[in-house]
């Protein structure tokens, strides 16, 4: 169903994993999608090929987040690509998905790890949104990819969990701020999803089974599980939901 026809979406971290799944789904629903990535050009190209094969429309935008000029560079390319297609800089959907993990219990945390996690997962996102608001259309959508680690204690990655907690707080405040423009702001909180991010944690069948057992469905999440929720939040059907953090963990640790 073409629920996003005529819409333009920017999905950060769409070269791999959950972001790729989201970009594909939004394109399948009819949106023109900017596939942002950090450095893995081959993976971004693969996402574009998959979208092309589905009959969708997309282009890639490269920008490293968590460094000083990352956000401006991203929008410069994004707007340049739109202009090449005869489009203005306005867009409709921003999905803040790019993120990094960082395993460290409290005694292992270093200032460098703390700064890096907050720079990529939290700081960059605030300024991505701030800059987006210049051109995000009224009635638009902002969707932040958070984590179930904000609900389920996860001391194995304490600072990572904190970066996502800050994201949830940001989501709440922003939803109130942008209500008068009809822009909804929500977060989606996955549990363990099969992606490169946690490949090392599920290196053996036993380790994988332990992670799968977090969910009442006894399996790991798939990028499509998250993408379908994001596609709903991106659509008009979700217009009465804002400021929410939607658990997308397959009922992990209920």
Catalogue the active-site residues.
160
Rounded Cα distance, 139 and 118, in Å: 29
- Whole-angstrom distance, CA of residue 205 vs CA of residue 184: 40
Nearer to ligand NAP, 173 or 200 (CB): 200
Subset of 36-65 contacting ligand NAP (CB under 6 A): 37-40, 43, 64-65
Task: Please state the closest distance from residue 83 (CB atom) to ligand NAP, in A.
Answer: 23
Quick one: which H or E segment has residue 44?
helix 41-53
Among 56, 102, 140, 190, binds ligand NAP (CB under 6 A): 190
120 belongs to the binding site for ligand NAP (CB under 6 A):
yes
Nearer to ligand NAP, 96 or 242 (CB): 96
Count of chain residues binding ligand NAP (CB under 6 A): 29
| 38 vs 56, beta carbon nearer ligand NAP | 38
- Which of 8, 11, 19, 183 is close enough to bind ligand NAP by CB under 6 A? 19
User: What φ, ψ does residue 120 adopt, rounded to 5°?
Assistant: -80, -50
145 makes contact with ligand NAP (CB under 6 A): yes
Stretch that binds ligand NAP, among 35-43, 85-93, 106-114, 168-176 (CB under 6 A): 35-43
Q: How far is the C-alpha of 50 from the C-alpha of 44, rounded, in Å? A: 10
Q: Which is nearer to ligand NAP, 152 or 172 (CB)?
A: 152
Please, what sign has the CA dihedral across residues 79, 93, 224, 174?
positive
The DSSP element (H or E) to which 9 belongs, if any, is strand 8-11
Contact by Cβ (8 Å): 234, 33: no
Listing DSSP states for 171-223 in one string gives HHHHHHHHGGGT-EEEEEEE-SBSSGGGGGGG-SHHHHHHHHTTSTTSS-B-H
* Binding of residue 250 to ligand NAP (CB under 6 A): no
* Least separation in angstroms between CB 64 and ligand NAP: 5
Residue choice 10, 33, 98, 185 for contact with ligand NAP (CB under 6 A)? 98
Closest separation between CB of residue 113 and ligand NAP, Å? 14
Burial classification of residue 178, based on how many CB atoms lie within 10 Å of its CB (0-12 exposed, 13-18 middle, 19 or more buried): buried
What is the C-alpha to C-alpha distance for residues 70 and 127, in angstroms, rounded to an integer? Answer: 10
Q: How far apart are CA 61 and CA 78, in angstroms?
A: 6
Q: Which of 8, 28, 135, 147 forms a contact with ligand NAP (CB under 6 A)? A: 147
Counting contacts by CB under 6 A, is residue 168 touching ligand NAP? Answer: no
Interface residue list for ligand NAP (CB under 6 A): 13-19, 37-40, 43, 64-66, 97-100, 120, 145, 147, 190, 192-193, 195-198
């Amino acid at each position: 169903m073409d629920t996003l026809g005529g819409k333009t979406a920017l999905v950060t971290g769409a070269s791999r994993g959950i972001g790729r799944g989201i970009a594909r789904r939004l394109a399948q629903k009819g949106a023109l999608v900017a596939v942002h990535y950090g450095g893995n050009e081959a993976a971004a190209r693969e996402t574009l090929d998959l979208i092309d094969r589905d009959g969708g429309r997309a282009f890639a935008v490269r920008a490293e987040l968590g460094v000083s000029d990352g956000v401006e560079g991203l929008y410069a390319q994004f707007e340049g690509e739109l202009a090449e297609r005869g489009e203005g800089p306005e867009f409709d959907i921003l999905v803040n998905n790019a993120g990094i993990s960082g395993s460290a219990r409290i005694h292992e945390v270093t200032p460098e790890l703390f700064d890096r996690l907050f720079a990529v997962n939290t700081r960059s996102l605030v300024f991505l949104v701030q800059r987006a608001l210049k051109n995000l259309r009224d009635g638009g959508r902002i969707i932040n990819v958070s984590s179930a680690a904000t609900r389920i204690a996860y001391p194995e990655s304490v600072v990572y969990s904190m970066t996502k907690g800050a994201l949830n707080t940001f989501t709440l405040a922003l939803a109130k701020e942008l209500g008068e423009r009809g822009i909804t702001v929500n977060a989606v909180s996955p549990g363990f999803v099969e992606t490169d991010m946690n490949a090392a944690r599920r290196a053996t069948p036993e380790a994988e089974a332990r992670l799968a057992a977090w969910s009442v469905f006894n399996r790991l999440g798939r990028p499509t599980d998250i993408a379908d929720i994001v596609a709903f939040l991106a659509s008009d059907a979700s217009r009465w939901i804002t400021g929410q953090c939607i658990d997308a963990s397959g009922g992990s640790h209920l």
